[in-house]
Structures are given as C-alpha cells and as structure tokens.
Amino acid sequence: MTLREILLLNPILLAALTAWSIAQILKVLIEFILLRTWNWALLFQAGGMPSSHSAMVSAAALSIGLYKGFDLPVFAVASILAMIVIYDATGIRREAGRQAVLINTIIEEIAKGKLSQHKRLKEVLGHTPGEAFLGTLLGLGIAVIFWILFP
C-alpha cells in the first residue's frame, strides 16, 4: 500500500480535513449571505465564522476517540492539543487582531495628515468564542458522520 493510499484511507485524517474544508467554505457562503459578494480569498484565510482550526482539531480528537478508544494516551494528547488550539484562536490571536484594529486606526489618522502610506494590517486573526464554539461543533459533527459512514 502506498503512502497516498494510506493517507486517503485514514478516516481520522479525512474527518479532520473535511471539517476544515467545510468550515472554510462556510466562511465564503456566510460572507456572501451577509454582503452579497463572493470573497474566494476566505478559503485560505484564518479567522471568521466558523473557526476552521477548531473544527479540524475537534474532529481529529473525537475521531481518535471513536476509532481507537477514549482511554488511550493518543486521545488525551489530541484533546489537549485541541484545547490549546481553541484557546489560542480565541485568546492570543483574537487579541492580536484587536491590536491590528488599533494600529490601523492610528495609521489612518497619520495618513490624514498626508504622511507616508502604510499597508493595513490584517485584523481578523483570531476568533470570538462563538466562532470557535461553532467550529468545534462542526468538527465534532463531522467526526461522528465519518465514524458512522466508515466504521
């Protein structure tokens, strides 16, 4: 069996990647519903609703538990990793996004005085707790669907 076949037949990996992909696609659809414009760049950007990071790590952790057992150390490690990623998305990265908003405001004020132009910083770096929560629910749902469809 080739490495490619092993990866394509790994339901844990496929569940995690599917959860991430669906979350990224949902970001584009949600923005279209709200703004009536297609922003395909969202497929490859961090931040926004739902959190693809939360979806991916929660799908991976639950899939490991469902397929391999909840009493194994690998499930504990995956769960701890998921908690760290979700905390980072809602805490540290979210705070960095708030700082980017403030810095961009300062740059705009300086620009009004005809000083040099600066490129705006990306402001959506992290997630609100709601975005991370919905991403987590998405990931858990995808993991259960994969476990049911591919026992």
Within 10 A of 142 (CB to CB), how many other CB atoms are there? 26
Task: List the single range of 51-55, 95-99, 143-147 with lowest mean pLDDT.
Answer: 95-99
Rounded Cα distance between 2 and 129, Å, is 40
CB 55 within 8 A of CB 62: no
Q: Is pLDDT of 97 > 60?
A: yes
Average pLDDT over residues 96-105: 77
pLDDT for 98 equals 73
User: For residue 135, with 0-12 CB atoms within 10 Å meaning exposed, 13-18 middle and 19 or more buried, which class applies?
Assistant: buried
pLDDT for 124 equals 59
Instruction: Give pLDDT tens digits for 27-65.
Output: 999 999 989 999 888 888 777 788 888 999 999 999 999
The DSSP code for 41 is G
The DSSP code for 118 is -
Rounded Cα distance between 21 and 15, Å, is 10
Q: Is pLDDT of 66 > 60?
A: yes
Q: Is pLDDT of 87 > 90?
A: no
pLDDT for 117 equals 58
Considering the entire predicted model, what is its pTM?
A: 0.68
Tell me the average pLDDT of the chain. Answer: 84
Rounded Cα distance between 148 and 66, Å, is 10
